[in-house]
Copies of this chain bind each other. A is one copy, B any other.
Amino acid sequence: MARVTHPASASALLRHVRTGRARSRAELVALTGASRNTVSARVDQLIGANLLAEGGRGWSTGGRPPTLLRFNSGAGCVLAVDLGVTSVDVAVTDLSAQVLATVGHPIDIADGPGPVLAEVDRLAQKVLAEAGLTPADVCAVGVGVPGPVEFSTGRPFHPPIMPGWHDHPIPSAFGRYECPVYADNDVNVMALGEMGVAGSVEDVLVVKVGTGIGCGIIIEGRVYRGAQGSAGDIGHISVPAPGGRAVVCRCGNENCLEAIAGGGALLRDAVAAGLPVGSTRELVQLAAHGDGPALELVRNAGRTIGTVLASLVNFFNPHRIVMTGGVAQAGAPLLAGIREAVYGRSMPLAARALDITVSDAPDLSGRLGAALMAIEGFLDEDTVHQAVAR
C-alpha cells in the first residue's frame, strides 16, 4: 500500500510550511487534497498557537494574490547537546535549527554522568544567557551520546566506552527546563544532521567509520530504530577477511567488519606494516598526503566496507549513502574502495542512481542533528495537536 504522504493534520500542514513545500493556504490545499475550509481552520489554529505567521502577498495567477504563510521559528528554542568522548558541544537554536549561541568544552566521558552532565548544565545556562533567553523559552532538548541509548527512556544501554553511564536517565539532568528531552546514539543523531533542515523524505544510510563502525538509517527523513533500537549496528557483520586470515573482534566473534576495516584495525595494520604512525588520525593524514602504503590500507578498508554496503544496497535500496567519522576524512581512497565493491556487486536498478559521498560538515552534524531531534520531537503530531486544541 502507498505510504501516507499528505495527510492534512495540523502537524502535517505545519511541516509543509516549515520545509518550504507550501507557502499559502491555496498551496496547502493543492498539496494535501484537503478542503479549503479544513485547511483554513487548521492554519488559523496554528497561527493562534504562534507556530505560523502571516505576512506579505505572493504572486497571483489571477484573482486576489495569496497571503503568504511562514513558520514562526522564533516561537521557542531548543538545546542541542553533542556529547563526545573527550569534548562536548552545547548549542541553543531556534525552531529552524539556526544556532543562536554555541560553546564547546573538554570533558572525559569516563568521569561518569554526574560530573559530565553537571558541566553540560553549566554550559547550557551559559549559551542561553548569551542568546538572551531563559529556561522557560526552551521547548525541547536533544542529546547525542557516544554509545547505545534506549530511545524511549533516554538511558544508555551497556555503552562500551562510557563507564558508569549504563541505565542513567539522561533526561533527569534537564529537569529545570520542564520540556521533553530526547537522547539517542551519536550515529542516529549525526544521520539526522546530515539530512539537514530541508525536510528530506529520502531513504539514506549514514555510515560512521571511526574506531568502530555504525550506521544511522533514515527512512523518509526519520530515524529507523528497529525492534530493540539496535538497527544500524553493522560493525559486527561478518566479512571475508583479506588473505583468509581470522581476526578476533572485541565482541569475541571472528572477522567482524570493524575488526577488519575500523579505525583501530587500520592503525593495527599500519603499525604491523612499519608505517610511522601512532594514531588512526595520523594514518588518515598520511593517506591524504598521498603515501602509497597508507592509501592502499585505506582503500582496502573501503573495499571491505563496500562488500557490506553492497548487500545493504540490495536489501534497503537507499537514495544515498553518506560516509562520516574520522576514517571518512581520508576521502577519495576510502570512497574509491567502497564504490568499487558497491557498484560491482549491487543490483543495477538499486545502484544506478545511488549517490555515495563523504559528509560535508562532520563536525557540525552532531549538533545540528541534536537540534533537529529536539525540534521534530517538539513539533510532532501530539504536541502540535495539543497546542492547537488549547
Residues on the B chain within 8 Å of A376, using CB: 1
* Complex interface: stretch among A18-26, A109-117, A316-324: A316-324
Bound together, the chains give a CA A372 to CA B1 distance in angstroms of 8
List B contacts of A311 (CB < 8 A): 234, 237-238, 308, 311-312
- How many angstroms between the C-alpha atoms of A319 and B230 in the bound complex? 11
Flag the segment in A32-40, A170-178, A272-280, A281-289 that touches B. Answer: A32-40
- Answer whether residue A107 sits at the interface, using C-beta atoms and an 8 A cutoff: no
- Establish whether residues A232 and B315, one from each chain, have CB atoms under 8 Å apart when the complex forms: yes
A345 at the interface (CB under 8 A from B): yes
Complex Cα spacing A308 to B239, Å: 11
B381, A3: Cβ atoms under 8 Å?
no
Q: Give the CA-CA distance A354 to B351 in the complex, in Å.
A: 30
Choose one: B151, B231, B347; the contact of A230 (CB below 8 Å): B347
Q: Is the pair A233, B315 in contact by a Cβ cutoff of 8 Å?
A: yes
- A355-388 contact mask (Cβ, 8 Å, vs B): 1 or 0: 0000000000000000011001100111001100
In the complex the two chains form, what is the Cα distance from A148 to B315 in whole Å? Answer: 14
Which stretch of A7-15, A54-62, A122-130 is in the interface? A7-15
* In-complex Cβ contact of A317 among B228, B236, B238 (8 A): B228
In this complex, which of A152, A202, A382 has the most chain B Cβ atoms within 10 angstroms of its Cβ? Answer: A382
The B-contacting residues of A in range 289-316, CB under 8 angstroms, are 307-308, 310-312, 314-316
Assembly of this chain: how many copies? 2
- B236–A314 contact, CB under 8 A? yes
Q: Measured between C-beta atoms, what is the minimum distance from A49 to chain B in Å?
A: 14
B192 engages A1 (CB within 8 Å): yes
Complex: how many Å from CA A385 to CA B217? 31
Selecting from A92-100, A219-227, A331-339, the interface stretch reads: A219-227
- Residue numbers in B under 8 Å from A151 (CB-CB): 2
| Known pairs A34-B385, A314-B237; A350 contacts B7 (CB<8 A) | no
A171 → chain B closest CB, angstroms: 13
**Minimum CB–CB distance for A172 against chain B, Å:** 18
Q: Does any Cβ of B come within 8 Å of A389's Cβ?
A: yes
Please determine whether A38 and B389 come into contact, CB atoms closer than 8 angstroms: yes
> Contacts A315-B315, A381-B4; is A350 near B11 (CB within 8 Å)?
no
Which A residues lie at the B interface, using CB under 8 A?
Answer: 1-4, 6-9, 11, 32-35, 38, 148, 151-152, 157, 182, 192, 202-203, 215, 217, 219, 222-234, 236-238, 240, 251, 253, 307-308, 310-312, 314-319, 345, 347, 349-350, 352-354, 372-373, 376-377, 380-382, 385-386, 389
Give 7 pairs: A residue, B residue, CB < 8 Å, sorted on A. A1-B192, A1-B380, A226-B318, A231-B316, A237-B310, A237-B314, A238-B311
7 additional contacts, CB 8 Å, given A2-B377, A202-B227, A226-B316? A7-B9, A8-B381, A33-B386, A219-B219, A233-B349, A236-B314, A315-B315
